[in-house]
Amino acid sequence: MIIDVFKKDYIQQMAFIAVASIALWGKSLFFSANTAVASEPYSLLYSYLESFALSYPLIAVIIAFVLVIAEGFYLNHILVSNNLIHSTTLFPTFAYILLMGADVANQTFTPLLFSNIFLLIALHNIINCYNQEHSYEKVFNASFCIALAFLFYFPSVFMLLFVIITFVVYKLYYWREWLVLLLGFIAPFFALFAYYYLADSLDVVLQKLSTEAIRFSITYNLSQTVRLVCGAAFALFALVSAGAILGGLSQKVIIYRKKATVLLFLLLVGVLFSIYDIVLPANQQNYAIPMAFMLPTLFLMLRKKPKVCNVVFVLFLAAVYVNAYLGF
């Protein structure tokens, strides 16, 4: 079965991931001139990267490709180090790469591509706060990184809601953690506002932030049938995976239950991301981080039914590749 490759050694897994990734990104890697660059006019930092991508489309696609792979391996490390997945599998890396590149419009620079660098660091810090007496440093690092992510992609601010939910799940009720959370988030803005103030352009920055804050959209172009159908398929996979994980939590140790529950709440963050995503509200990138944990867990639970497991995996791959090559 195809899915059995993730039970083999690292070399075979990485070879499979390399071939599958190049096949997924082939349309952009070999025809980069036709790849549209995502626009985020109100982002404070992404606009500079957008200009670079428009001038050098092939380089932008290659950098994006490398970043997605690097982020996938980092997410895999986070899950393994927290005993949330088996230490020998690279399935989360593969799932992350698939979801980040499932739409050809995302196979170049996007705000979330750069935002996710900092969101993953934030996740790594905050998920490790469980059973820690003094987690101030981790909380500060997490909120600081969320603020940096915010500078690339405004909806990243919703990760603060995820941190608050994590505090509740982990029972971190001490006022110091909450204060550190606030201080870590506002710290980067002191330096940023000071720079723009000295550059006499603070009013422009404030206008960008206020304009972005009131943006709200749940529109979707129904004529894009392929994206709609594939988006529905991804949503179905998400719901089935979440249900399977919740159903099996009672059999796990408490530390796994706490951390898995926290990761499931990242789906809520993805929904909030989508509400603010005007261009692609059904953007699979919004759900890449939680789904990279949920999908491998789902297939692990289906391992006793190999035929069903393989069919579901092939259907998932079909949804990704059809969306990438026919969703335009």
- pLDDT tens readout for residues 20-42: 999 999 888 887 655 556 655 55
CB 180 within 8 A of CB 139: yes
**Tally of CB atoms within 10 A around 134:** 11
Among 73-82, 88-97, 288-297, the minimum mean pLDDT is found in 288-297
CB 169 within 8 A of CB 258: yes
Q: What is the mean pLDDT of residues 192-213?
A: 68
DSSP-H helix ranges across 128-201: 136-152, 159-170, 175-198
Q: Is the pLDDT of residue 214 over 70?
A: no
Q: What does the H/E/C string look like for 188-213? A: HHHHHHHHHHHCCCHHHHHHHHHHHH
Among 47-51, 57-61, 73-77, the minimum mean pLDDT is found in 47-51
Q: How far apart are the first and last CA of the chain?
A: 31
Q: For 96-154, write each residue's pLDDT tens digit.
A: 999 898 888 888 888 889 999 999 999 999 998 887 777 888 899 999 999 999 888 88
What are the distances in angstroms from CA 233 to CA 129, 145, 296, 316, 323? 34, 32, 16, 8, 10
- Selection from 217, 213, 208, 214 nearest residue 278 by Cα: 217
Confidence bin at 316 (pLDDT 50/70/90): confident
Q: What is the mean pLDDT of residues 48-52?
A: 83
Q: What is the mean pLDDT of residues 37-48?
A: 67
Q: Is the pLDDT of residue 280 over 50?
A: no
Tracing tokens 């990438």 back to the chain, one arrives at 324
Instruction: Please enumerate in sequence order all residues whose Cβ is within 8 A of that of 268, keeping only pairs 6 or more positions apart, or say none.
Output: 161, 162, 165
Distance CA 298, CA 245 (A): 7
Phi and psi at 9, nearest 5°, equal: -75, 170
Cα 62 off chain centre by: 19
Q: Bigger pLDDT: 259 or 281? A: 259
Q: How many CA atoms lie within 13 A of 201 on its CB side?
A: 9
CB 276 within 8 A of CB 43: no
pLDDT recorded at residue 14: 92
Tracing tokens 């692609």 back to the chain, one arrives at 280
Q: Is the pLDDT of residue 279 over 80?
A: no
What single letter denotes the amino acid at residue 130? Y
Q: How many CA atoms lie within 13 A of 321 on its CB side?
A: 12
Distance CA 133, CA 155 (A): 31
pLDDT recorded at residue 118: 95
Q: Bigger pLDDT: 218 or 7? A: 7
Distance CA 236, CA 233 (A): 5
Q: For 232-275, write each residue's pLDDT tens digit.
A: 666 677 777 777 777 777 778 888 888 888 888 888 888 777 77
Among 49-63, 226-240, 245-259, 288-302, the minimum mean pLDDT is found in 226-240
Q: What is the mean pLDDT of residues 3-25?
A: 88
Distance CA 182, CA 190 (A): 13
Mean per-residue pLDDT over the chain, rounded = 80
- How long is the chain? 328
pLDDT recorded at residue 269: 82
